[in-house]
Amino acid sequence: MIPILVADDHGFIRAGVEAVLRGTRFSVVAATASGEETLDAIKTHDPAIVLLDINMPGMNGVQALESLRERGDKRPVVLLTAEINDRQLLSVMRAGVEGIVSKDGAEDGLVDVLEKVHAGQKAIEPIFLQRAIDLSLRPDTQGPLAKLNPRERKIAGLVARGLRNRDIGAELGIGEGTVKVYLHTMYQKLGIDNRTELALLAVNDQDA
């Protein structure tokens, strides 16, 4: 059996991975819920492959991967993720991740990914690979909001002025709910979590 460590802060995901691997040549030898716990468990259980969730409390999957590589550990790491922002994607690619699998539909492709990385191959879904290539080709001199389209940049400017979603919607002739959808997409593109960070980026963009 090939020993696997599964790191995810949701118990049903860990149980789901174990169920998918049942009857295969892969066996879950440890399950963890944070990056710190994962690094300790790797030392204890010495798994052949580490299956990491991106977003965990404390040290997240990206930081755990980077820490692993910094200490010279080159064992295969596969990221299991519901969503990954641009900053995280570039970080894990630079850290030498072997595989990236979307949680949506992972039950169909997980075993194949594990087989590939165990054989020394990369198993990164094409959508992530193309996105990483596109990001790496973008010049860094375009300013903090370069990833946004014109409408999103306008919204960022209005957020920086302190307008609420309702007021932004009135300004642009769209509904408050639509503004919320725009903001969520913008946060993902920029790798941020809230409107305060967006406002700071917008101010910096004006200064760039």
Same domain for 17 and 54, yes or no, is yes
Q: Chain-wide mean pLDDT for the chain?
A: 88
Split at pLDDT 50, 70, 90, the class of 208 is very low
* Cα separation, 82 vs 172, whole angstroms: 31
In a domain, 145, yes or no: no
Digit-coded pLDDT (tens) for 133-178: 887 766 554 567 878 888 898 999 899 889 999 999 999 999 999 9
Choice among 67-71, 86-90, 111-115, 152-156 with the minimum mean pLDDT: 86-90
* Cα separation, 39 vs 59, whole angstroms: 10
Q: How many domains does the chain have?
A: 2
Same domain for 103 and 161, yes or no, is no
Q: Give the CATH number, domain containing residue 173.
A: 1.10.10.10
Which domain does 59 fall in, by range? Answer: 2-136
Digit-coded pLDDT (tens) for 13-65: 899 999 999 999 999 999 999 999 999 999 999 999 999 998 888 888 989 99
Digit-coded pLDDT (tens) for 51-63: 999 888 888 898 9
Same domain for 76 and 171, yes or no, is no
Q: Which of residues 136, 158, 176 is at a domain's end?
A: 136
